[in-house]
Amino acid sequence: MQRLALLTIIALLPVLAVADDPVNITPDLPFVEIPAEGTIVRIERNPDPFNMIDPDYALTSRRCPPFCVQPMQLAPGVETIGELELLDYLKRVGSGDAGILVVDSRDGTWPARSGVIPGAILIPWQELFLEKGDHEHIATLLEDRFGARRDGPLWSFAQAKTLVFYCNGPWCGQSPTNIRSLLALGYPAHKLKWYRGGMQAWKALGLTTIPP
């Protein structure tokens, strides 16, 4: 019996060692702290090495359409970014860079169920949907939130912010729809960034979210 107990402990030692190892973002980056919702939020990976992805993001076979796989390059000049690039934009926002805005395009109950990325603002995708949206509301967003200016019948984007969009993941068309709408209005492609992995990739890496 004692021999069996000893063998069990020995077998568990590698698991216990793994559980004590740090779960950093990169070898030199354990976390990122940014101001959000009136406090300092630490963005880090869940330290539990046995943490599992939320069931909402575990599905592999969503009906297409509308949940179709998006291309890696959404449009010429629009940069597709990953988590580290997004974290860099969030740090710049947190340090007071008013020329950047990170936008969560999701609608419905998604933000409440899964949280939002700290430092992002929530603008449901329908609010920027040219085909069926309120054009006056879109104009207000362009001016008041994105920094564009009316230039007669056209728009001037010389002082417009760099916008970083995300939604639910590579199968989500919400942020791509918004980016295409802005391109149609003349928004410069180099000022539009897309986190293609979205909340599914963020959750898969165990990164921090906060309530909307």
pLDDT at 202: 98
C-beta separation of 110 from 209 below 8 A:
no
One-letter identity of residue 104: D
Q: What is the pLDDT of residues 137-151, one digit of tens each?
A: 999 999 999 999 998
Non-local CB neighbours of 95 within 8 Å, separated by 6+ positions: none
Three-state secondary structure string covering 101-118: EEEECCCCCHHHHHCECC
Q: Domains, the chain, ranges and CATH?
A: 2-204 (3.40.250.10)
Q: What is the pLDDT of residues 150-186, one digit of tens each?
A: 988 889 999 999 999 999 999 999 999 999 999 999 9
